[in-house]
Amino acid sequence: MADTRLANQIVLVTGGSGGIGAAIARAFSAEGARVAVHYFTEAPPPSGVTWEHLTPAAEAAATLAAELGGVAVQGDLREPDAARHLLDEVERQLGPVDVLVNNAAHCESPDTIDALDAGGLRRHYEVNAIAPALLISELARRPSTATSRCVVNISTDAARAFPGQIGYGTSKAALEGLTRGAALDLAAAGIRVNAVAPGPVQTGWMDADLLEHVRSIVPMGRAGEPGDIADAVVFLASHQARWITGQVLQVAGGHAL
């Protein structure tokens, strides 16, 4: 890629201490950006519920931030004032945020239509849709001397229909709707809003049998790697994408078209 013009940009990556988030943080750092790695250490799930996402401890975030010359910032995105506190902390340590990557996600099971309950739906929407909306709103309200700022939301390539994961899939569909609406609202303010929709990405959750199955259903013949997603995110935040907003870029090797 040519000059991305991301050097010295302040980038906040939510859920950035492991998996795709860590790859995104590293990719921005490689472009000279200053990265804030957000993390949250999840409490034990309610009885009968399994968390399907990894929540690395604070030490993982601190280690990654030190490696990148950035900072680690903690925050529970389910809290109503989390957006304000998180941006305050990043500003205090690095400066105003130029690039916001809404990567943090909640995924739990059971999540089938016949097993839904209010608690599970609430937890999915709080992290996957409401928190990104509040973070974007908070970013937009803050003064900035930057000529342009941008947001990249991380969705899923199955957001249109995700059988078996109703709360997760519909909350990501809401995130894609937010992407389009916020892009139109904020275009005049010079804030671009886009999304990346990954296919199945190996971050340690797929065993050998599942990995082989994924290879068989992805037209390009392999599971995704965190770097595949990170490169797309960096592109959408870069100068090369300066006239792109309101888009959902599917990065999935042809899966779920």
Q: Which of 132, 102, 99 is nearest to 33 (CA)?
A: 99
Residue 205 structure tokens? 């959750």
Q: What is the mean pLDDT of the chain?
A: 95
Does residue 151 contact residue 14 with C-beta atoms inside 8 Å?
no
The model carries a pTM of: 0.96
Each residue of 108-131: pLDDT tens digit? Answer: 999 999 999 999 999 999 999 999
Q: What pLDDT was estimated at residue 145?
A: 87
Classify each residue of 43-73 as buried b or exposed e, where b means 16 or more C-beta atoms within 10 Å of its C-beta. eeeeeebeeebebbeeebbbbbbeebebbbb
pLDDT at 115: 95
pLDDT band, very low/low/confident/very high, at 55 (cuts 50, 70, 90):
low
**Which residues make Cβ contacts (< 8 Å) with residue 123, sequence separation at least 6?**
78, 106, 108, 167
State percent of the chain over pLDDT 90: 88
| Catalytic center residues | 168
**Angstrom distances, CA of residue 17 to CA of 24, 97, 103, 153, 181:** 10, 18, 11, 17, 29
Nearest 5°: phi and psi at 175?
-60, -40
> Has residue 43 got a pLDDT over 70?
yes
pLDDT tens digits for 146-205? 889 999 999 999 999 999 999 999 999 999 999 999 999 999 999 999 999 999 999 988
Annotated domain spans of the chain: 10-251
pLDDT-based confidence at residue 56 (cuts at 50, 70, 90): low
Q: Per-residue pLDDT averaged across 223-245, rounded?
A: 97
pLDDT surpasses 80 at 24: yes
| Average pLDDT score over residue span 124-146 | 96
Give the residue, 25 or 44, on which the prediction is more confident.
25
**CATH code, 10-251:** 3.40.50.720
